[in-house]
């Protein structure tokens, strides 16, 4: 996770640094590509694909945040990153719902897809339910991490919640068929 954070910070540092060299046209082209990649698609895809790992790390780190006053610099940084990533993870389904719901008419636009298309990549852009599957994907992973960490004494409840959520998602997949290509 730290490698991804360092690579992201390095890319954002390049975005800030490269405008100082405005005279070279190729450098501005590289900067514009980095802005499009890092500022939207990369972070949206990162949240979608690592939501399970982020959920586990946040839930494992949260009980130790009471030691913030006595913590060293790196521990404080870790606690602050836990709060930041937890906030981003909780807000991301609401952001996806409102932003993509508001811009639903622009989902077919190639320019919009190049900048913001990672959320509905491989889905039908003319179906509103396609946006909901990314939200359900994140929420299902958060629920799975929470049941694994907080319901350790209730294996039956872990299994039951996983079975119900998976069955619900399978029913939605069969009913809406949001993928642009068949899965099988």
Can you give the pLDDT at residue 74?
Answer: 79
Give per-residue pLDDT as tens, 66-89.
777 777 887 888 788 888 888 888
Strands (E), 83-137: none
Instruction: Determine the Cα–Cα distance for residues 16 and 32; give it in Å rounded to an integer.
Output: 11
How buried is residue 169: exposed, middle or buried, by Cβ count under 10 Å (0-12/13-18/19+)? middle
Q: What's the rounded Cα separation, in Å, for the pair 100 and 87? A: 19
Q: What local confidence, expressed as pLDDT, does residue 42 receive?
A: 74
Domain residue ranges in the chain: 1-49, 90-184
Model pLDDT for residues 33-47, shown as the tens digit of each residue: 766 666 677 777 778
Q: State the average pLDDT for the chain.
A: 80
Q: What's the confidence (pLDDT) of residue 5?
A: 61
pLDDT of residue 14: 61
pLDDT at 173: 85
Residue 96: predicted pLDDT: 87
- Tens of pLDDT, residue by residue over 6-58, are 666 666 666 566 566 555 666 667 667 766 666 677 777 778 888 888 888 88
Does the reported pTM lie above 0.85? Answer: no
What are the Cα distances from residue 98, in Å, to 131, 138, 151? 10, 15, 32
Dump pLDDT digits (tens) for 75-124.
888 788 888 888 888 888 898 888 888 888 888 888 888 777 777 778 88
Which of 124, 163, 146, 137 minimizes the C-alpha distance to 56? Answer: 146
Residue 24 Rama label (left phi>0; alpha psi -120 to 50; beta): beta
């Amino acid at each position: 996770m730290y490698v991804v954070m360092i690579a992201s910070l390095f890319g954002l540092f390049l975005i800030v640094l490269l405008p100082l060299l405005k005279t070279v046209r190729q450098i501005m082209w590289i900067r514009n590509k980095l802005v499009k990649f890092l500022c939207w698609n990369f972070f949206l895809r990162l949240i979608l694909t690592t939501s399970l790992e982020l959920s586990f790390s946040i839930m494992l780190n949260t009980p130790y945040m009471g030691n913030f006053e006595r913590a060293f610099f790196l521990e404080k940084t870790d606690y602050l990153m836990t709060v930041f990533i937890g906030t981003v993870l909780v807000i991301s389904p609401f952001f996806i719902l409102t932003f993509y719901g508001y811009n639903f008419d622009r989902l077919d636009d190639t320019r919009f897809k190049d900048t913001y298309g990672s959320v509905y990549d491989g889905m039908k852009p003319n179906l509103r339910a396609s946006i909901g599957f990314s939200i359900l994907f994140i929420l299902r992973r958060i629920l799975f991490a929470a049941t694994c960490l907080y319901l350790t004494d209730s294996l039956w409840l872990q299994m039951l919640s996983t079975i119900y959520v998976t069955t619900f998602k399978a029913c939605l997949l069969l009913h809406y068929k949001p993928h642009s290509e068949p899965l099988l």
